[in-house]
Amino acid sequence: MNHQAELFVALQRLLPQHALSRLIAKAAEAKTPWLKNLLIRRAIAAFDINIDEAVSSDLDDYENFNSFFTRALKDGARPIDQSSDSLVSPADGEVSQAGPMTQQRIIQAKGIDYSASRLLGNSDEAKLYEDGSFTTIYLSPKDYHRVHMPIAGKLLRSRYIPGDLFSVNDKTVQALPGLFARNERLVCEFESELGQFALVFVGAMLVAGIETVWGGFETPGCGTVRDSDFSERDLSFDKGEEIGRFKFGSTVILLFQNNKIDWEESFLPQAAVQMGETIATFK
């Protein structure tokens, strides 16, 4: 770890992560027209956000900053690959890592890995993914922030796991071991034609919340693990269907069982991806 990265992580340790995120959340929910429009304009300029692909480019149509940040896109802006053997990206972003797991080890960065057991918060469920496949996709503030299904599936259960709220940008990923298994996260497990797979929403510094279409807003900083069983409910989703959203930049992690998929050759670290494009094919 270089001195700059060490300092960046040290500063994050000193910050009141949850209090700061709650403060940002309050500002992001403000409906005062001049304030929310100022925040939106600043974000568009700072992050080079493409407002033209949104359903509305009129700032007055957004009741607050969060409604802008989780904006819907125009029909056809993210076509969903319809090939019967394709796995599609669940989100816009950048590939942080992708590849095979060695037993239960997931690569975070060069020389850094962590366990599926820690990520999922359940050692028995983690065994399902031994020697499986994984990918980590980072959503920057400029990206579309809704998360969609990579393949059709039925929700079995979810687990909200409290934790830290470190930044998930590349500098922190390269410097802080076990980052994704330390941050707050929502683990969602689905049944599909590929068998069971996991999709994990990972919270981060300044993330004002994770929201799902079945459970609504997941309150950060609650301090307790929350397990929810959905196996008796018919919560089935098509490939490309929206399942949730982040209220600021963060990360999505996918885990698949052994010998189920082949990643596309172009699906490599630092590659840009868009929701709906093929990232792997079924075996």
Catalytic positions: 92, 148, 250
**Rounded to an integer, what distance in angstroms lies between the CA atom of residue 191 and that of residue 231?**
10
The secondary structure element, H or E, covering residue 127 is helix 123-127
Q: Token digits for 141? A: 């503030």
**Rounded to an integer, what distance in angstroms lies between the CA atom of residue 120 and that of residue 163?**
13
**Rounded to an integer, what distance in angstroms lies between the CA atom of residue 222 and that of residue 51?**
34
Q: Give the CA angle between residues 169, 93, 205 to the nearest 5°.
A: 35
Residue closest to 152 by CA, chosen among 238, 241, 257, 240: 238
For 212, other C-beta atoms within 10 Å of its C-beta total: 20
236, 255 Cβ separation under 8 angstroms? no
Residue closest to 255 by CA, chosen among 196, 180, 193, 178: 196
Q: Token digits for 272? A: 């840009």
244, 213 Cβ separation under 8 angstroms? yes
Q: Token digits for 164? A: 């830290």
Q: Token digits for 152? A: 């059709």
Cα separations in angstroms, 160 against 96, 196, 210, 229: 23, 18, 10, 12
**Rounded to an integer, what distance in angstroms lies between the CA atom of residue 5 and that of residue 3?**
5
